[in-house]
Chain A
Amino acid sequence: MNKTVFRTCPTTGLKIDLSAQALIKANAVAAVVFLAIGGLFGLSVALTRWPAVHLLPADWFYLALTAHGLDVLLLWIIFFEIAVLYFASAILLNSRIAAPRWAWAAFVLMLVGGLVTNLAVLQGQSTVMFTSYPPMMAAQHFYLGLILFAVGALIGCGVFFGTLVIARDEKTYQGSIPLVTFGALTAAIIAVFTLASGAIILIPTWLWSMGLVSNIDPLMYKLVWWAMGHSSQQINVSAHVAIWYAIVAMLFGAKPLSEKVSRTAFLLYILFLQLAAAHHLMVEPGLSSEWKVFNTSYAMYLAVLGSMIHGLSVPGAMEAAQRARGFNNGVFQWLRKAPWGNPAFSGMFLSLVMFGFLGGISGVVMGTEQINIIMHNTLYVPGHFHGTVVAGTTLAFMAITYLLIPLVFQRQVMFPELARWQPYVFGLGVAGISLFMMGAGTLGVSRRHWDITFTAASFDYSYPPTALLMMALNGLSAIAAALGGLIYIVIVVASVFFGKAVRDKITLAAPSGQPISGAVASYGSAGTMRIPGTLVLVGVFFIAFVLYYFVNWKYLSEIWPMR
């Protein structure tokens, strides 16, 4: 067996296994490449939905929409998550990585799988949308590629678990694993459930596409497929919450307010998030209302509880740290004096706020059994998940990239002035995409629809003019988001390949004020519990949540009575 080679990080003093570092680099680079491809497809979709532009012909629109979902929702996200898993295990635990050869095999399988499925889509015989609902059938290698990718990702999770075991056996750290690693562990456990569900449904569907299985029940498919499709979004949530904690720790030295509370919140994700397959079955035949109510609410909203806890404890940890570092005046000095020009911070904070307000609230409202009747399969759905997975997850991944480039790639971030603006340009664009699609969805506009003016249909219909305006604004927002995405990709590629090498210690920490001794009372893991600014933020969030929730019951009460 090869001897593990380490280098010592000049900034953190951590021992870094060079094969772990190479694996992180490979997975992160693959992720960014698929983000570029998928983002381009996404832009073309948004420009087609803008009635005045209507860029693509129908067949290309549906093909591009299928590829967009595949490349960003699956490939960009999961490749980056594998990089995060290796970082949170081998690097943060000061350990060698388990079975690097298996990890490379996982990488190759994922890459081959991703390319095969992309090929199937581009050949034009697999325009079935990312969800590929039967009885609509894709080409055989569409499913095969997905299966290979899932197997690869599963092996990657295994390498992560193995690394945890090695680090524990070899005593590379004292006490319990860090909270960020715990969050990554949550993500990996959910990933195993997710990928197993994917295998359970995709393997029979693949056999069906070869004619070896006669029938795939469409309802059963949806239930199991979404145990993969929605649970994989919960991998994202766990991963990006872990990244929020990591960034506030690296920039502010923030400690969790309470290790116990934050870890319990992650545990709630493991226990309850998987029920969310039900979110996609609210208006389906053949399921009882009891089943729908229990599952859609994650058993009385216990997973939502987990997210609301993180919603207090992430900004709370930051506020406590900032106050201890001298920004202790008033309610919001800690936030005003935050490093808004540092893209790692601005990206992280925009991700936190937008995930809560745009993605979080809309998701709970839409997942309410009866309210789903006025939202199912309208553009409200993509509006919601662009708030979670793009404004939340993607922006958080972009934010941590600005720290990974100097620490793992050992390169300086190039074009620092552009980097300052990148999270704002991307964030603004994504906020627009999310809001305008939700607006259009509220007005009834269908998702996955090439021509919302119905020019070739057998009857006349047109959505309200406001809806068409929303789609134009959505197109403009998509241009902004694409620009932000392009800046990110240019910065990453340029820095990784041409950036100045980083050999010495660098300063990660944000500037601090005049520390005031005795200003903070000792408490728990954080050393302080004076967090009035955070309480104002969560108060505003809670009021917005409650109002928006009941407004939608009001909308529901105005449609035809039905039972």
Chain B
Amino acid sequence: MAITPPSARLWWNESVHRVELIWIAVAFVWGLVMFFMMIYWHATGAQNLATETYRTTPNAFYAKVERNVAEWQVRELNGVPVIKPPAGADIYLLGRMWLWYPVLELERGQSYRVHLSSLDLQHGFSLQPININVQVHPGYEHVLTVTPDKSGEYSIVCNEFCGLGHHMMLGKIFVVDR
């Protein structure tokens, strides 16, 4: 029994039955399939998370965000500037307690380099309703190249707890047709 010492003293010498060996082989091969699937997707898939990262500081990052706003602001939405950067631009998007800033207006089918960082605590960039989720750290600047392929209004929820106003933290990205 499993609660008593093994009945065969030399249990490690017992042969393993074919049924168990087959299951072990199936499980092992399935593990390899899942492992190489991730690598395969890096080679061929269109959705891979960028690893481009820089050290930054809240002040330095905020300065870049403000430069974006000064250059590309087109209007305001509920008091938050809306910027319309050109295709291929480097866009700085910050999370802070409790707002994503600024609002972006992007063109469908164009690629943009979105730099993400936080001014205070950790935040969770959660783009809805398509459900893209990326963790945002203070002190780190994470650069994602995204290509919005459907137009519409998207919301950025914060999905990392960041204090009592966490559930009020929202941002917007508008994707418009060219």
Binding site for B on A (CB under 8 A): 58-59, 62, 92, 127-129, 133, 135-136, 173-180, 217-219, 245-246, 248-250, 253-262, 282-289, 293, 297, 300-302, 304-305, 308-309, 312-313, 316-317, 364, 368-370, 372-378, 442-444, 446-452, 454, 456-459, 461, 463-464, 523-525, 529, 531, 535, 538, 542, 545-546, 549, 553, 556-563
A562-B144 contact given A178-B4, A309-B24, A373-B49, CB 8 Å threshold: yes
B159 within 8 A of A: yes
A525 and B11 contact, CB distance less than 8 A? yes
**A259 contacts B14, CB within 8 Å?**
yes
User: Are the CB atoms of A378 and B126 closer together than 8 Å?
Assistant: yes
- In the bound complex, how far is the Cα of B145 from the Cα of A246, in angstroms? 52
B1-23 interface bits toward A, Cβ cutoff 8 Å, 1 = contact, 0 = none: 11111111101101111011001
Q: Choose among A317, A449, A450 the residue that contacts B2 (Cβ–Cβ < 8 A).
A: A317
Count how many pairs of residues, one from A and one from B, have CB atoms less than 8 Å apart in the complex. 304
Does B39 touch A at the CB level, under 8 Å?
yes
Is the pair A219, B137 in contact by a Cβ cutoff of 8 Å?
yes
Shortest C-beta distance, B46 to chain A (Å), equals 4
Q: A256, A546, A563 — which one has the most chain B CB atoms within 10 A of its CB?
A: A563
Q: Give the docked Cα–Cα distance between A446 and B123 (Å).
A: 12
Tell me whether A259 and B8 are in contact in the complex, defined as CB-CB below 8 angstroms, given that A180-B2, A559-B131, A562-B50 are known contacts. Answer: yes
- With an 8 A cutoff between CB atoms, is B157 at the interface? yes
B16 touching A287, Cβ below 8 Å: no
Can you list, as one digit per residue, whether each of B137-178 has a CB less than 8 Å from chain A (1) or not (0)? 111111011111110000101111111101111111000000
Q: Mark B88-129, 1 if CB is under 8 A from A, else 0.
A: 000000000001000000000000000010001110101011
Residues in A whose Cβ lies below 8 Å from that of B53: 285-286
- Does B47 sit within 8 A of A, measured CB to CB? yes
Whether B144 pairs with A449 at a CB distance below 8 angstroms is no
Minimum CB–CB distance for A436 against chain B, Å? 17
A-side binding surface: helix, strand, loop or mixed? loop
How far is the CB of B176 from the nearest CB of chain A, in Å?
A: 15
Can you name 20 extra interface pairs (CB under 8 A) apart from A378-B159, A451-B168?
A176-B9, A178-B4, A254-B2, A286-B137, A286-B140, A301-B30, A301-B31, A305-B28, A364-B34, A369-B49, A373-B132, A378-B126, A447-B159, A457-B167, A461-B128, A461-B155, A524-B17, A529-B19, A546-B30, A556-B47
Q: How far is the CB of A464 from chain B (nearest CB, A)?
A: 7
Please tell me which one of the listed residues A219, A308, A444, A450 contacts residue B27 in the complex, with CB atoms under 8 A apart: A308
Instruction: Return A57 CB to nearest CB of chain B, in Å.
Output: 10
Interchain nearest-CB distance for A142 vs B (Å) = 15
Interchain CB contact (< 8 A) of A377 among B2, B30, B45, B160: B160
B interface, size bucket: 35 or more
Specify which chain A residues have a CB less than 8 angstroms from the CB of B78 in the assembled complex: 458-459
| A449 with B5: CB separation less than 8 A | no
Judge whether B135 is part of the interface by a CB distance below 8 angstroms: yes
A538 to B79: give the CA distance in the assembly, Å: 57
**B15 nearest in chain A by CB position:** A524
**A562:B48 contact, CB within 8 angstroms:** yes
Residues of B within 8 A of A305 (CB): 24, 27-28, 31
Does B38 sit within 8 A of A, measured CB to CB?
A: yes
By the criterion CB–CB under 8 Å, are B166 and A283 in contact?
no
Q: Which listed residue (A250, A257, A538) contacts B17, Cβ 8 A? A: A257
Across-interface contacts of A374 in B (CB, < 8 A): 131-133
**A456→B20 contact, CB < 8 A:** no
| Nearest opposing residue in chain B for A545, CB measure | B30
Q: Known contacts A457-B170, A560-B130, A560-B149; is A258 also within 8 Å of B3 by CB? A: no
Q: Which residue of A lies closest to B19 (CB)?
A: A529
Least CB separation from B144: chain A residue: A562
Q: Could you say which of B2, B130, B135, B145 contacts A559, with CB atoms under 8 Å apart?
A: B130
Of the A-B pairs whose beta carbons lie under 8 Å apart in the complex, a sample of 11, sorted by A's number, is A133-B122, A133-B160, A136-B163, A249-B4, A254-B2, A368-B38, A370-B47, A454-B168, A458-B170, A525-B6, A560-B147
By a CB distance below 8 angstroms, the chain A residues around B70 are none
Q: Across the interface, do A370 and B50 meet the contact criterion of CB distance under 8 Å?
A: no
Bound CA–CA A218/B166 (angstroms):
18
Tell whether, in the assembled complex, residue A454 and residue B170 are in contact, meaning their CB atoms are under 8 Å apart. Answer: yes
User: Nearest Cβ distance between residue A414 and chain B, in whole angstroms?
Assistant: 25
Q: Indicate if B74 sits at the interface (CB-CB under 8 A).
A: no
B34 contacts across to A, CB distance below 8 A: 297, 301, 364, 368, 549
A135 close to B138 (CB less than 8 A)? yes
Contact residues in B for A289 (Cβ distance below 8 Å): 42, 48-49, 51
Interface pair B134/A283, CB less than 8 Å apart: yes
Specify which of B4, B26, B169 lies most central, judged by the most chain A CB atoms within 10 Å of its CB.
Answer: B4
Tell me the complex Cα distance, A251–B11, Å: 23
A260 touches B16 (CB 8 A): yes
Would you call A378 and B133 a contact (CB within 8 A)?
yes
Contacting residue for B147 out of A283, A456, A562, CB 8 A: A562
Q: Does B60 contact A (CB under 8 A)?
A: no
List residues of chain B with CB within 8 A of the CB of A259.
6, 8, 11-12, 14
A300-B32, A454-B167, A525-B7 known; A287+B51 contact, CB < 8 A? yes
Contact check, B41 vs A553: say whether CB atoms are below 8 A apart: yes
